[in-house]
Chains A and B, each alone.
Chain A
Amino acid sequence: MDLPLIPKGVERCSLKTFAPWMFLWLLIIGWGLVSAFLCFYKGLNQTNMNHYFAFGLWIVFDLAIIALGAGAFFTGFLTHIIGKEELKAIINPAVVIGFICYSAAIAMLGVDIGQPIRGWFIFWHANVHSMLTEVSFCITAYLGVLTIEYLPLILSNRKLNEVPEFNIFGNNLHHIVALFAAAGTFLSFFHQGSLGGMYGVLFARPFAFREGFLIWPWTFFLFILSSIASGPSFTLLIVWITQKVTGKELVKRSVFNTLAKISGWLLASYIILKIVDTISWAYGVVPRAGLSFMDFYEGTYGVWLIIAEIGIFGIIPAIILITPKFRERNDLLIIGALMNITGIVFNRFVFTIQTLAIPVMPFDKFMGYFPTWQEWGIAIGSIGYGILLFSLSYRYLPLFPQEAEINPVKVFGQLVTDSGVIRRS
C-alpha cells in the first residue's frame, strides 16, 4: 500500500508487519503523553522529586540522551570536516538519532520545569553566568541545525523528491551541509561541556564541585570527551539493532570497526582523565571540605557506583574497543559498545542523583529517590518516540547508502539497483 513511498532498490517488510510494530510504540508514547498531561494539569507533585531531589529521572535521562546523541555531531565532524569518507555510510542514521535525542530531551525539559509557559525567560532574561543558560541556548540552536541536517534526508523520500521545489531545495541544502556540520560541532562542544559545567560549578556541593581552567570546571571537558566517546558507540549499537530487527546487513563491517576504534580510543583517553580527575578531587576538593572519600558513598549509593562507572563500564569497554582482535568479533564489539554507553549513563546518573542524595550539613541525612510511573512514562515514552521515528525514517528514507549495494533486490532473477534500473545478474 505504501510501496511508492519506499526507497528504490531496497526491500521493506509488509505494512501488515510494520503496523503492529508502530502500534506498540504508539502505546508507549501514549503512556508518556498521559504522564505529561498529568504533570501539566496537576503539577510536579506527580513525580517523586522533592526539595532534596530537585532533579530526578528526567534530568538523568536528558543528560544521558544528549551525550549519546553526540554521535550526530561527531560523525558529522569526522565526515564533513575531517573528511573521513567511510563514515558517510553512517552519517544519515547518526543525524536521525541525534535529532531524536535532542528533540526528546527538549520535550522532557519542557515537562520538567515547574512553569513551562515561562521557558522562554531563559532567553529573554538570560543570566550569562549560568551554565544552564549556555546549555539552553546551544541545545535549542543545535536542534535547529539537526533539523536542517535531517531535512534533505526527509526530502529525499521517493514521493517528496518528485516535487521539483523539494528536489532543488534538498539538493542545495545537501551542498552546504558541511557548514552546518561545523556549526553543530561548535554548538555541541559548548553544550556538552556546559552540561558537565552545570555540576562542576556547584562549589557548595563537594561531591560535584571541580576546579578547572578559567571559568570551566574539569567536568566541562570530561563531559565533552565522554559524549564523543559514547556517541559513536550508540550510533553503532542502534545500527546493529536495526540490522538484527530487519535481518539485513545495512552497513559494511569495516564501518563498525572504524566507529568502534574511534569510540574506544576516545573512551580510553576519557577514562584516564576521569581517573586523574577523581584522584585529584579526592585529594583536593574533598579534604578541603572536611570530608573523606567514603563519606560520599552510603546505602544504595555505595562505592559500587564508582567501581561500576569507571572500572567495569569504563576500563573494560575501552580495552575491548581499542583491541583490534576483540572489536573484530561481533559479540565483543556489541558488548563493548553497550558497556561504554552504560558507563556514560552511570556517570550522568551519579552526577545528578548522587550529588543530591549526599547530605552536606553534618546533621542532615542521606536521601533516597525512586521515580513514579509518570516519571517513567515520560522517560520510556521518549524511547518509544525515538524507535517510532527511527523506524519511519528507515522505512521511507534512504537512510543507509550502502543498503542497496549490500542487499541487491532480485526481481524475476534480475537485480534492481538503488536507482531503480534493472540489470542482469
Chain B
Amino acid sequence: MKKEDSTKGNRYGMVIDLDKCTGCGVCLIACASENNVPVMYDESDKTRNITWLQIYMVTNGKEFPETEVVYIPRPCMQCDNPPCVPVCPATATDKDPTSKIISQIYTRCIGCRYCMAACPYHARVFNWFDPWFPEGMDRYLSPEVSPRMRGVVEKCSFCHHRLMRAKAKAYVKGRRDLKEDEYIPACVEACPTKAITFGDLNNPKHKVSELIKSSYAFRLLERLNTEPKVYYSSTKNWVRRMADNYLSGEYKGGD
C-alpha cells in the first residue's frame, strides 16, 4: 500500500496530560452527546456498549500509602499507520489526506468487524443492538452527525463535523487555514482541567507540536509502529512505562 507523506497538509492530533486528568468522565459524556451515541439497555456491559472514548483506570500496583492511580482517556488513536484501514474489504474506512483523520463510512460498513480485530487499542465498537435514545433524548440529537444503524462499526472521528463547520466559516471569511482554536473536538472543549490539548501536529505554531517534543510525552504501543496521533504526557515514570510492553531490563526510563 502506498504510504502517503504525513508531513504535508494538516495532521490533527492531541496531547492528553495524564497528570491533570481526574477521570471525571466529562470528556466521555461530551463525546457521546456531541456524536449521537445511543444508550444501551444495560450500560454496565462495557464489552458491548457504544463509547468512542473509553477511560481506563490504572494503578502502580503498590500497597497503600504508595498507591498511585492514573486515568487514561482513550479515543481513537487516529494512527498515521492505521492497522484498521488496509484490512477493510469494502473501503468503509480511510485516512483523510487533508486532515489525516481516520474516517468511517457507516452506510458502507458491512459489519465484518475485521477492523476491530486489527485495532490493538479497542477504539472501534460494533452496534450489536439497534440504536436507542430514551424519550426526550431524541430531541437533543445533533443534526450534524448521522446516528448509526445496527450491525456497523463506529469510532471516534475527532468530531470531524466540527472541522467541516470551522472550514466553512473560515472559507466565508476568505481564509483557507484554520486558527488553532477554531477546530477542537467536544472532549477537548469539555475537559474541566484542560488536560487535553488539540491542534495540528504539522503546524509549529500549534501548541501540540511543541508538547509532543517533551520528554514526558509518549504514545500507546509505540513499538507496534501504528504511529498514533494521540499523545499522552506524564511526569511519572511508571505511567510512561505502562504505555507499552517491555521485556525485563529493557525500559530505560527508570522506575
* CA–CA, A131 and B247, complex, Å: 32
Contact assessment for B245 and A132 in the assembled complex, using a CB-CB cutoff below 8 Å: no
Instruction: Report which of A44, A118, A205 forms a contact with B110, defined as CB distance below 8 A.
Output: A118
Tell me the chain A residues, 146-175 only, with Cβ under 8 Å from chain B: none
Given the interface pairs A198-B114, A287-B247, the reply to whether A204 lies near B223 with Cβ below 8 Å is no
* CA–CA, A363 and B242, complex, Å: 7
* CA–CA, A3 and B112, complex, Å: 46
Tell me the chain B residues, 6-60 only, with Cβ under 8 Å from chain A: 47-48, 56, 58
B172 interfacial by beta-carbon distance below 8 Å: no
* CA–CA, A98 and B165, complex, Å: 54
Residues of B within 8 A of A201 (CB): 86-87
- How many residues does chain A have at the interface if contact means C-beta atoms less than 8 Å apart? 49
Given the interface pairs A43-B151, A362-B243, the reply to whether A356 lies near B91 with Cβ below 8 Å is no
Select the residue from A50, A288, A367 with max chain B CB neighbours within 10 A: A50
B203 interfacial by beta-carbon distance below 8 Å: no
Instruction: Report which of B112, B128, B221, B223 forms a contact with A50, defined as CB distance below 8 A.
Output: B128
Given the interface pairs A50-B128, A290-B247, A356-B117, the reply to whether A364 lies near B110 with Cβ below 8 Å is no
From A122-130, A300-308, A378-386, the one touching the partner chain is A122-130
B113 interfacial by beta-carbon distance below 8 Å: yes
B179 interfacial by beta-carbon distance below 8 Å: no
Given the interface pairs A51-B125, A361-B121, the reply to whether A115 lies near B87 with Cβ below 8 Å is no
A324 interfacial by beta-carbon distance below 8 Å: no
Tell me the chain B residues, 82-102 only, with Cβ under 8 Å from chain A: 83, 86-92
Chain B, Cβ-Cβ closest to A50: B47
Given the interface pairs A54-B116, A132-B89, A290-B223, the reply to whether A114 lies near B150 with Cβ below 8 Å is yes
Residues of B within 8 A of A49 (CB): 113, 128
Contact assessment for B116 and A121 in the assembled complex, using a CB-CB cutoff below 8 Å: no
Residues of B within 8 A of A127 (CB): 86, 88-91
Tell me the chain B residues, 115-146 only, with Cβ under 8 Å from chain A: 116-122, 124-130
Given the interface pairs A115-B110, A289-B224, the reply to whether A204 lies near B119 with Cβ below 8 Å is yes
Say how far A138's CB is from chain B's closest CB, in angstroms.
12
Residues of A within 8 A of B88 (CB): 127, 130
Contact assessment for A115 and B111 in the assembled complex, using a CB-CB cutoff below 8 Å: yes
Residues of B within 8 A of A45 (CB): 48, 128-129
A78 interfacial by beta-carbon distance below 8 Å: no
Tell me the chain B residues, 203-255 only, with Cβ under 8 Å from chain A: 220-221, 223-226, 242-247, 250
Instruction: Report which of B72, B108, B223 forms a contact with A289, defined as CB distance below 8 A.
Output: B223
Residues of A within 8 A of B122 (CB): 51-52, 361, 364
Residues of B within 8 A of A126 (CB): 89-91
Contact assessment for A130 and B92 in the assembled complex, using a CB-CB cutoff below 8 Å: no
Chain A, Cβ-Cβ closest to B245: A290
Instruction: Report which of B56, B113, B130 forms a contact with A55, defined as CB distance below 8 A.
Output: B113
Say how far B79's CB is from chain A's closest CB, in angstroms.
8
Instruction: Report which of A121, A205, A295, A364 forms a contact with B118, defined as CB distance below 8 A.
Output: A205
1/0 contact string of A271-297 vs chain B (CB within 8 Å): 000000000000000011111100100
Contact assessment for B110 and A119 in the assembled complex, using a CB-CB cutoff below 8 Å: yes
Residues of B within 8 A of A287 (CB): 247
* CA–CA, A27 and B131, complex, Å: 34
Residues of A within 8 A of B224 (CB): 203-204, 206, 289, 360
Given the interface pairs A115-B109, A118-B108, the reply to whether A203 lies near B117 with Cβ below 8 Å is no
Chain B, Cβ-Cβ closest to A55: B117
Chain A, Cβ-Cβ closest to B121: A361
Given the interface pairs A45-B128, A50-B48, A114-B150, the reply to whether A125 lies near B108 with Cβ below 8 Å is yes
B187 interfacial by beta-carbon distance below 8 Å: no
Contact assessment for A113 and B86 in the assembled complex, using a CB-CB cutoff below 8 Å: no
Chain A, Cβ-Cβ closest to B113: A54
Residues of A within 8 A of B111 (CB): 44, 113-115, 118
A133 interfacial by beta-carbon distance below 8 Å: yes
Chain B, Cβ-Cβ closest to A131: B87
Contact assessment for B223 and A133 in the assembled complex, using a CB-CB cutoff below 8 Å: no
* CA–CA, A291 and B224, complex, Å: 11
B184 interfacial by beta-carbon distance below 8 Å: no
A235 interfacial by beta-carbon distance below 8 Å: no
Contact assessment for B91 and A125 in the assembled complex, using a CB-CB cutoff below 8 Å: yes
Residues of A within 8 A of B129 (CB): 43, 45
Contact assessment for A136 and B109 in the assembled complex, using a CB-CB cutoff below 8 Å: no
* CA–CA, A51 and B109, complex, Å: 16
Say how far A195's CB is from chain B's closest CB, in angstroms.
12
* CA–CA, A136 and B87, complex, Å: 13
Tell me the chain A residues, 52-104 only, with Cβ under 8 Å from chain B: 52, 54-55
* CA–CA, A89 and B57, complex, Å: 63
Given the interface pairs A118-B110, A201-B86, A355-B117, the reply to whether A129 lies near B128 with Cβ below 8 Å is no
25 A-B pairs within 8 Å (CB atoms) are namely A43-B127, A44-B111, A44-B128, A51-B124, A54-B117, A112-B112, A115-B152, A118-B90, A118-B108, A121-B108, A127-B89, A127-B90, A129-B87, A130-B114, A132-B112, A136-B89, A198-B114, A203-B224, A203-B225, A204-B120, A205-B117, A360-B121, A361-B120, A361-B220, A363-B72
Instruction: Report the 4 A-B pairs with minimum CB-CB distance, sorted nearest first.
Output: A114-B111, A114-B151, A290-B245, A360-B120
Sample of 10 further A-B pairs with CB below 8 A, known A51-B125, A129-B86, A289-B223: A54-B126, A55-B117, A114-B152, A127-B86, A130-B114, A204-B118, A204-B224, A290-B245, A361-B221, A363-B72
Task: Please report A residues at the B interface, Cβ cutoff 8 Å.
Answer: 43-45, 49-52, 54-55, 112-115, 118-119, 121-122, 124-127, 129-133, 136, 198, 201-206, 287-292, 295, 355-356, 360-364, 367
